[in-house]
Amino acid sequence: MTGPGGYAAEPGGPAPQPRHAAPSPTGSYRPPPLPAGEPMAMSISRPDPPQPSESARSGRHAAGGPSALRLIWIYPDLLSTYGDRGNLLMLQRRARLRGLAVDPIELNSDQPVPQQGDIYLLGGGEDLPQILAAQRLRADGGLIAVAARGAVIFAVCAGYQLLGTVFGGVQGEEVAGLGVLDLRSGRGERRGVGEVVADVDPALGVDRLTGFENHQGVTTLGSAARPLAQVVLGVGNGDGTEGAYAGHVLGSYLHGPALVRNPGLADLLLTWAVGPLPPLADAAESWTRQLRQERLAATSS
């Protein structure tokens, strides 16, 4: 498993310019039965420091242009616990405060994953919905494909686990994940419930994280994934680290919602999608700063 050292500095990216947006997914779709044999999975290689996404490199989503930043919330009918929809709302708000057009799309589990999204979000869920979500996403193949082309993916708790190669089922049995992140999750002996504080990998340039966890997972990272953070308070992955990332794919056990409590993490995802962002005015940041101060004060007492 990757250790906490060896972080590389994150490079910058060019300023965004517009592009045309693809239409939102419509209609109904029933995934075909899972194929026999090995599950679909990306080939995993050793991680490099995150680079600007295809959207940022080609200069897309400029304010006032015909483009819109497409935020895809995957399977809210299966994966949406502890207010994880707030992650979608936070990205939407912080993009619009910077003059970016935003197209939020809520994608239910009977619809195919669109290939033209910019940021894909997965939330938490119970065991059976998590298993069903993994089966449908493997059969569909869309999320695996967009990860391979460098799209930004942010996943929480159950969504984080299913991005790995294996996670624990209802009775602790192994269930095949998507293989998008080089990690394996199983069931631990103790349940992690409560506040989490964690210091982020310095390469990402994000302030200390706070959040709420409620899981019994133990996650082990392979050599092609890096820990998102080092735990100061709480359980996280179960080995002193919290979350994982590789390229533009990032997962965490944190609810809260995570991006509401950690606006720097939201801005990191937006930067990966569109390039460097201008700072927000103090008035627009006052409520996020107040929430952060409250949660950090509560965990330090």
Catalytic positions, written as ranges:
157, 255
Residues 6+ apart with CB under 8 A from 237: 218, 219, 220, 221, 227, 231, 243, 244, 253
Question: CA-CA distance, 229 to 293, in Å (whole number)?
Answer: 19
Outline where the chain has alpha helix (H): 54-58, 85-96, 127-140, 142-148, 158-162, 258-261, 263-274, 282-300
Joined together, the tokens standing for residue 77 give 């009918």
Gap between the Cα atoms of 156 and 153, Å rounded: 10
Contact 216, 186 (CB under 8 A): no
Residue 85 · residue 47 · CB < 8 Å: no
Amino acid at 67: S
